[in-house]
Structure 1
Amino acid sequence: MPESGHTWRKAFKGIPEEARNVRVWTAGRLGHPDAPLIANELFAAVLGARPDSIEMTLSTAGTRIRIAAHGFVPLSFLQIHGPGVILIGQLANASGVSEDDQTLWALFGEES
């Protein structure tokens, strides 16, 4: 039987005040307790590149959750390897950056 899931996308302004809206939006769609924190850290890391907007994507498939933050500008070494990304790496089963260096993502919620 194939896994069913959902995907939500929303663009947020590239300003620090939007981080709270990202957490609230994520919590309203995903029941995982770490989801708002992971979304916040992805948003904050991409925010460091100073994009005009950041598109957040939440996807589910079975027990898996994927959150991505796309900033439409290349991310620097600090955004890709900074403290927030280290925290994401501790909470997620897998995380990374897109080939174009514009998107950070995290996959978590998988059964061990």
Structure 2
Amino acid sequence: MPESGHTWQKAFKGAPAEAAHVRLWARGRVQHPDAPLIADELFVAVLGSGATVIDMAISTAGTRIRITAEGPDPLPLIHSHGPGWSILNGLCQRTGLTTDETGLWAQLGGHQ
């Protein structure tokens, strides 16, 4: 039986002030307490690469939540596995680089 879910996408300006909007946007879509922090860490990592626009996505399937941040260009290694990577790995079940290497994703379980 397939799991049903939802997907939300939004483009944010590549500016530090947008991080607060990213956190609010994530909080308004899913009820997991770590989702805003995870969205923020992904956004900041892509922002650090110099992206002028960052595409954010949140997808749900059953109790799983996947958050993605993507920019227009491949991420330098420091931005795809920098200091925020430790936070993501501590909070998420899985993390990774998008197949085109322009973004990062994180998967977490639903809030119990």
TM-score exceeds 0.5: yes
Superposition TM-score tier, normalisation by shorter sequence: over 0.9
Retained in 1: the 8 A contact 2:9–2:55? Answer: yes
SS of residue paired to 1:28: helix
TM-score in terms of structure 2 length: 0.95
Q: Give the distance between the partners of 1:74 and 1:4, measured in 2 at CA.
A: 31
State the SS of the aligned residue for 2:29.
coil
Q: Which runs of 5+ in 1 are unaligned?
A: none
Match of 1:65 in 2: 65
1:27 and 2:27 equivalent? yes
Q: Give the structure 1 partner of residue 54 of structure 2.
A: 54
C-alpha displacement at 1:75, in angstroms? 0.5
Instruction: State the match for 2:11 in structure 1.
Output: 11
- Residues 14-48 of structure 1, C-alpha deviation per residue, up to 9 Å, x if partnerless? 01000000000000011000000000000000001
Report how far residue 56 of structure 1 moved: 0.2
The gaps in structure 2 that reach 5 residues or longer are none
- Segments ≥4 residues shifted beyond 2 Å: none
Asked if residue 98 in structure 1 is aligned to residue 105 in structure 2, the reply is no
The share of aligned pairs that are identical, in percent, is 56
Gap change, CA 1:14 and 1:36, over 3 Å in 2: same
- Give distance in 2, aligned partners of 1:93 and 1:110: 11
Task: Kindly state the Cα deviation for residue 99 of structure 1 after the two structures are TM-superposed.
Answer: 2.4
Partner in structure 1 of residue 88 of structure 2: 88
State the Cα distance separating 1:110 from its structure 2 match. 5.6
Cα deviations by residue, 1:53-80 (Å, 9 ceiling, x for unpaired): 0000000000000000011111011011
